[in-house]
Amino acid sequence: MFAFINNSLSRMRRNADTTFGPQPIRIGLLGFGHLGQFLCAHFERERTKPTRDFDLVFIWNRSTTIFTKYGKDLNQELLVSTVQEGLQRLPDLVVEAAHPDVIRIYGEQILDVCDLFIGSPTALAFAPLEARLRKKSMESGQVIYVANGAFCGADDIVKMSERDLVRSLTITMRKHPDSFKLSEPLRSKLIHERGKLDNDEEEIVIYSGPVRELCRLAPHNVNPMAVGAIAAEHLGFDGVQGRLIADPSLIDRHVVEIELSGPETVIGDKKKTTFHIKTVRTNPAEIGYITGTATLLSFVSSIKHAKGQTAGIHVV
193-223 pLDDT, tens digit per residue, is: 999 887 777 999 999 999 999 999 999 889 9
Q: Does residue 25 share a domain with residue 164?
A: no
Note down the domain range covering 88. 2-150+296-315
pLDDT band at residue 2 under the 50/70/90 scheme: very low
Measured distance CA(173)–CA(184) in Å, rounded: 18
Domain count along the chain: 2
Q: Does residue 245 share a domain with residue 222?
A: yes
Q: At 269, which amino acid appears?
A: D
Q: Does residue 218 share a domain with residue 162?
A: yes
Enumerate residues 6+ apart whose C-beta is below 8 A from 249: 201
Q: Does residue 80 share a domain with residue 15?
A: yes
b/e for 45-84, b at 16 or more Cβ within 10 A? eeeeeeeebbebbbbbbeeeeeeeeeeeebeeebbbeebe
Q: Beta partners for 311?
A: none
pLDDT for res 18: 46
Could you give the angle at which helices 34-46 and 293-304 cross, rounded to 10 degrees?
50
pLDDT band at residue 175 under the 50/70/90 scheme: very high
Under 8 Å between Cβ of 175 and 254? yes
- Which CATH number goes with the domain that contains 87? 3.40.50.720
pLDDT for res 114: 98
pLDDT for res 290: 78
Tell me if residue 77 falls in helix, strand or coil: helix
Q: Does residue 129 share a domain with residue 22?
A: yes
pLDDT by residue (tens digit) across 17-48? 445 567 899 999 999 998 999 999 999 888 88
Burial category of 95 from C-beta neighbours within 10 Å (exposed 0-12, middle 13-18, buried 19 and up): buried
pLDDT at 15 over 50: no
pLDDT by residue (tens digit) across 256-266? 999 999 998 88
Is the pLDDT higher at 2 or at 209? 209
* pTM greater than the 0.75 cutoff: yes
Under 8 Å between Cβ of 114 and 29? no
Q: Does residue 163 share a domain with residue 124?
A: no
Q: Does residue 246 share a domain with residue 136?
A: no
Q: Does residue 159 share a domain with residue 41?
A: no
pLDDT at 16 over 50: no
pLDDT by residue (tens digit) across 226-272? 999 999 999 999 999 999 999 999 999 999 999 999 998 888 777 78
What average pLDDT score do residues 57-71 get? 90
